[in-house]
């Protein structure tokens, strides 16, 4: 017959060791985590932070774009990091699809690529894909500099080669971040590597006409920021590097008859900056990507 009673001290003494073992021991099938394991994990995390800083340190202000409020690694930055870390991209393929959305023909590109990284004699591979389409506001929207209003350009004015290139960059970007554990990289991480957010090119969607486009003289603000954004656009449209555009626009013949060109954007200033900006803005306004077309006219990439 059992009765309710207070357990005796001797019973507590017997039960406590068993209860402690139950708490200390993990559920069946899970490994035991020791103090040494925790110390090792902490050291490993510290090393990852250091490695990440070194990786991001391979880039500069021109290798990042601010999309909305988030950092986006450009093709040039992706290639720099890949070269520093020994990451190879193989098996690149791009598939084109066409579909009609609300009466508007849309070109959609899907790029697939494999990133390979050899670490300590072991090769790791990651497969990723990237997508882009001609409906992207980055390609379809522009600012009317007479009114400051956002406009939407027709498909005939969209350079499909750039849309395709963005899909490739997206695929390489994702593969690189995956294989090097760079996912979730924030502006704080990038600033820690010496890159300044305020010096990067920026793309803002859905802004009202009160915010004039910062690629023209109407915008006011810092001339160097305007020049950087203009060059970034020209480089994207012509599928050349930022540095190539910079050197071409800044070039002049010195008194000794030799051509001089700026190879370091950070050193451009004074009258040299003003003259380069004037040439850049003129080239930006007159570029085919901004030029109005006759109704029914199509850009070469849109013909198919």
pLDDT of residue 115: 94
- pLDDT by residue for the chain (304 residues), tens digit each? 445 555 554 444 445 455 444 445 555 666 677 887 788 888 877 887 788 888 888 888 888 887 767 888 888 888 889 998 999 999 999 999 998 887 889 999 999 999 999 887 888 999 999 999 998 887 887 766 666 677 788 888 788 888 898 899 889 989 998 998 888 888 888 888 888 877 777 665 444 333 334 554 444 457 888 888 888 777 766 667 788 888 888 888 888 888 888 888 888 888 899 889 888 888 887 776 655 444 344 443 433 3
pLDDT of residue 10: 47
pLDDT of residue 297: 43
pLDDT of residue 107: 93
pLDDT of residue 203: 62
pLDDT of residue 198: 75
pLDDT of residue 193: 81
3-state secondary structure string across the chain? CCCCCCCCHHHHHHHHHHHHHHHHCCCCCCCCCCHHHHHHHHHHHHHHHHHHHHHHCCCCHHHEEEECCEEEECHHHHHHHHHHHCEEEEEEEEEEEEEEECCEEEEEEEEEEEEEEEECCEEEEEEEEEEEECCCHHHHEEECCCCCCEEECCHHHCCHHHHHHHHHHHHHHHHHHHHCCCCCCCHHHHHHCCCCHHHCEEECCCCCCCCCCCCCHHHCCCHHHHHHHHHHHHHHHHCCCHHHHHHHHHCEECCCCCEECCCCHHHCCHHHHHHHHHHHHHHHHHCCCCCCCCCCCCCHHHCC
pLDDT of residue 26: 56
pLDDT of residue 129: 93
């Amino acid at each position: 017959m059992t009765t309710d009673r207070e357990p005796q001290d001797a019973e507590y003494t017997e039960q406590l060791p068993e209860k402690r073992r139950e708490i200390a021991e993990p559920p069946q099938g899970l490994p035991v985590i020791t103090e040494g394991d925790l110390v090792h994990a902490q050291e490993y995390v510290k090393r990852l932070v250091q490695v990440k800083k070194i990786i991001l340190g391979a880039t500069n202000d021109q290798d990042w774009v601010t999309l909305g409020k988030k950092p986006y690694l450009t093709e040039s930055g992706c290639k720099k990091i890949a070269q520093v870390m020994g990451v190879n991209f193989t098996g690149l393929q791009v598939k084109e699809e066409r579909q009609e959305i609300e009466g508007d023909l849309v070109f959609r590109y899907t790029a697939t690529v494999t990133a390979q990284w050899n670490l300590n004699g072991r090769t790791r591979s990651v497969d990723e894909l990237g997508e882009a389409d001609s409906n992207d506001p980055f390609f379809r929207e522009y600012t009317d500099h007479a009114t400051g209003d956002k406009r939407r350009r027709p498909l005939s004015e969209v350079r499909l080669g750039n849309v395709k290139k963005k899909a490739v960059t997206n695929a390489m970007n994702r593969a690189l971040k995956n294989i090097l554990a760079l996912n979730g990289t924030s502006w704080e991480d990038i600033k820690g590597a010496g890159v300044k957010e305020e010096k990067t090119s920026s793309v803002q969607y859905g802004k009202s006409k009160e915010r004039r486009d910062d690629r023209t003289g109407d915008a006011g603000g810092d001339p160097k920021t305007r020049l950087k954004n203009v060059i970034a656009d020209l480089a994207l449209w012509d599928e050349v590097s930022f540095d190539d555009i910079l050197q071409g626009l800044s070039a002049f013949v010195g008194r000794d008859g030799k051509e001089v060109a700026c190879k370091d954007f950070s050193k451009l200033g004074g009258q040299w900056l003003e003259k380069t900006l004037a040439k850049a803005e003129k080239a930006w306004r007159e570029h085919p990507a901004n030029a109005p077309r006759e109704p029914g006219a199509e850009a070469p990439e849109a013909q198919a």
